[in-house]
A and B are shown apart, each in its own frame.
Chain A
Amino acid sequence: MIAEKYAAEIESILAKYPSDQKRSAVMPLLYLAQREGGYVTKDEMIEIGGILDITPTEVASIIGFYTLYYDHPEGKVRLQVCNDLPCALRGADEFLEQLCENLGIQVGETTPDGSVTVEAVMCLAACDKAPMFQAQTAESLAYYENQTVSSALEVIEKLKTQDTAS
């Protein structure tokens, strides 16, 4: 239950918004809920709806609309490569293809050991430093810029071991 686990944080999130506009806290609460497992469970949707006086369906619609919320688990490390126009002009498509080939997966898939998911995503506002990606783990979301396939594989190894260490 996030209400017990993050009581103080929930209180400070709710304090950001007018007391009659609690619904504004739905996005920050969803980030809290998926902090540990990387996705939001059905029970957590019901719980968040209860905290904010909205229905679980309304909570689920927010998860469905925004791309950074997940309702099911994926790899421990989510590697999201931007291959929009400016990045593609700097070789992002080739980078993405070769990275997936190295990991033995297709774009959008997770490695068989469940450790890494590679996705193509929309612009990440780092167009001058492509190829680039963001790596999402349960604890963090960080940018890695001016990448090659080998530097990306090193990042993956580092994030995987960090995850086991914690």
Chain B
Amino acid sequence: MSELILLRHREIPDINQLEVYRQHGGFEAFQKAVTSMNPYDVTDQVSKSGLRGRGGAGFPTGLKWTFIDFENWPHYVVANADESEPGTFKDREIMEGNPFQFLEGVALAAFAIEAKEAYVYLRGEFWQIAASLDRKIAELEREGLLGENLFDTDYSLRIFTHLGAGAYICGEETALLESMEGKLGQPRLRPPFPPSFGLYGKPTVVNNVETLTNVPLIITRGGEWYASIGTEKSTGPKVFSLSGRVNKPGNYELPLGTTFRELIFEHGGGIPGGREIKAIMAAGASSSLIIANDEALDTAMDYESVPKVGGALGSASVIVIDDSVSIDWVLRKTLHFFSHESCGKCTPCREGTFWMRHIIDRINAGEARWSDVELLNEVALQIKGKCLCALGEFAIEAVTSGIERFEADFRAIAASSPDGE
């Protein structure tokens, strides 16, 4: 891609300063919206752009905004900056490098749904980023870009930051809202969804940081311009977080539809130590394990294509696993994560992740029979479809796909265990 749309600080290093951001068109979109557009027109452009949620679900952003209940007031926008998925580190770079574009996106979303208050919910570890955003919000208020009667209209908007305190589950939107209300971060039963029953029971839009950062340029240049990037159904650029066994891990902004091969081998510089690529996790620790054969490597990274090779694009956090790694070790890592992060509300997830962790520890220590592998798979399937949120589903993705697609790794352990097959 010739021009960066999200990671613009890589081309304009001082864009994290308001003056520089404004020299490059910053806050023109927000001013244009507030002074000359109907809120619905903003939503309409976002719908036309085809923008889909970048937090993982890929839900059409404009459509989400139209779900807001206009019979119930006030409305809220909450930016989800809880970025906690192992393998995901894109929102952090956006908020550090290009913070004003993100804040302008928050402001545009708020205008679109006629909210006068917006919150940015950041994970507690992003303490310094929150402090920096607070200073930037204060600066915007001094410059008349946030606050009362903006641009001499009757529209007013304030943005506040709110820090979480170390809980992966708070990235789930209803758990995030519970946490903001000062409660345990545990998911709510849905429906109702946040656009009808959100923060304090009021209509609320929850959008990911990267999603919102797209919005200013969509309003400036139009939804059709945005829709011309990427593929027909997966439009726009995406920040791919590349990690694991690659030479050049990092964030790469590329059009949706770029192949795994291009990301991993051209941009990421391939696999270190002359090793072969074995598996890909496309959506962080929540992913199934995709066998990294030619068909998978030549697959376009978009919402429609990745499922064809048995995965999901999710937040596009690509973890590369090479042939020196045994899949049972990968599962041990992901299961320790999910059993720690299960919020405890739903029994299948709370107990299931606990027992899966114990079984995988035994397998990884080489002390398991094949029946233990089968038991692990069985426990995983008992979690499927039985919980309020997706955490339980995420926890079993790697387990069930790993056992099915990399059976040899598990057969070898069972064969060499003291108890035999």
Q: For the complex, count residues of B whose C-beta is within 8 A of A.
A: 53
Say yes or no: A67-B167 contact (C-beta < 8 A), given A23-B181, A127-B243. yes
Is A88 positioned at the interface, with any CB of B under 8 Å from its CB?
Answer: yes
Whether the pair B125, A85 counts as a contact (CB closer than 8 A) is no
Within 8 A of A (CB), among B140-177: 160, 162-168
Kindly report which residue of chain B lies nearest to residue A134, judged by CB atoms.
B125
Whether the pair A122, B165 counts as a contact (CB closer than 8 A) is no
Whether the pair B164, A27 counts as a contact (CB closer than 8 A) is yes
Cα distance A127–B304 when bound, in Å?
26
State which of B18-26, B27-35, B329-337, B410-418 sits at the interface with chain A: B329-337
- For B251, the chain A residues whose CB sits under 8 A away are 128
**Of A27, A52, A86, A125, the contact of B244 (CB 8 Å cutoff):** A86
Whether the pair B89, A128 counts as a contact (CB closer than 8 A) is yes
Say yes or no: A67-B166 contact (C-beta < 8 A), given A85-B319, A89-B319, A128-B242. yes
**Of A16, A65, A84, the contact of B86 (CB 8 Å cutoff):** A84
B136 to chain A, nearest CB (A): 16
Cα distance A16–B119 when bound, in Å?
9
Is B249 positioned at the interface, with any CB of A under 8 Å from its CB?
Answer: yes
Is B341 positioned at the interface, with any CB of A under 8 Å from its CB?
Answer: yes
Is A21 positioned at the interface, with any CB of B under 8 Å from its CB?
Answer: yes
Say yes or no: A24-B89 contact (C-beta < 8 A), given A16-B160, A30-B165, A123-B337. no
B380 to chain A, nearest CB (A): 17
State which of B102-110, B182-190, B306-314, B401-409 sits at the interface with chain A: B182-190
Whether the pair A26, B182 counts as a contact (CB closer than 8 A) is yes
Kindly report which residue of chain A lies nearest to residue B249, judged by CB atoms.
A128
Whether the pair B244, A122 counts as a contact (CB closer than 8 A) is no
B264 to chain A, nearest CB (A): 13
Whether the pair B162, A85 counts as a contact (CB closer than 8 A) is no
A19 to chain B, nearest CB (A): 12
- For B89, the chain A residues whose CB sits under 8 A away are 125-128
Is B200 positioned at the interface, with any CB of A under 8 Å from its CB?
Answer: yes
Is A155 positioned at the interface, with any CB of B under 8 Å from its CB?
Answer: no
Whether the pair A122, B341 counts as a contact (CB closer than 8 A) is yes
B170 to chain A, nearest CB (A): 9
**Of A21, A68, A86, the contact of B166 (CB 8 Å cutoff):** A68
Within 8 A of B (CB), among A67-89: 67-69, 84-86, 88-89
Whether the pair A127, B87 counts as a contact (CB closer than 8 A) is yes
**Of B91, B249, B281, B337, the contact of A84 (CB 8 Å cutoff):** B337
- For A61, the chain B residues whose CB sits under 8 A away are 184
Say yes or no: A123-B167 contact (C-beta < 8 A), given A18-B200, A89-B245, A141-B128. no
Whether the pair A84, B181 counts as a contact (CB closer than 8 A) is no
Cα distance A50–B86 when bound, in Å?
38
Is A165 positioned at the interface, with any CB of B under 8 Å from its CB?
Answer: no
Main secondary structure of the interface of B (DSSP, over half): mixed
Whether the pair A128, B250 counts as a contact (CB closer than 8 A) is yes
- For B125, the chain A residues whose CB sits under 8 A away are 68, 124-125, 134, 141, 143
Cα distance A88–B185 when bound, in Å?
27
- For B126, the chain A residues whose CB sits under 8 A away are 125
Whether the pair B243, A86 counts as a contact (CB closer than 8 A) is yes
Say yes or no: A66-B88 contact (C-beta < 8 A), given A85-B337, A86-B243. no
Whether the pair A65, B83 counts as a contact (CB closer than 8 A) is no
- For A25, the chain B residues whose CB sits under 8 A away are 182
- For B167, the chain A residues whose CB sits under 8 A away are 65-67
Say yes or no: A21-B200 contact (C-beta < 8 A), given A27-B162, A27-B164. yes
- For B285, the chain A residues whose CB sits under 8 A away are 84-85, 123
- For A128, the chain B residues whose CB sits under 8 A away are 89, 241-243, 249-251
Whether the pair B330, A24 counts as a contact (CB closer than 8 A) is no
Is A142 positioned at the interface, with any CB of B under 8 Å from its CB?
Answer: yes
**Of A21, A24, A68, A86, the contact of B124 (CB 8 Å cutoff):** A68
For the complex of A and B, 3 pairs with smallest distance between CB atoms: A67-B166, A23-B182, A66-B165
Provide a sorted-by-A list of 23 A–B residue pairs whose CB atoms are within 8 angstroms: A24-B181, A28-B163, A62-B182, A66-B164, A67-B167, A68-B165, A68-B166, A84-B285, A85-B86, A85-B281, A85-B333, A86-B243, A89-B243, A89-B321, A122-B337, A123-B285, A123-B337, A125-B125, A126-B89, A126-B92, A128-B249, A128-B250, A141-B127
Residues in A lying within 8 Å of B, measured CB to CB: 16, 18, 21, 23-28, 30-31, 52, 54, 61-62, 65-69, 84-86, 88-90, 121-129, 134, 141-143
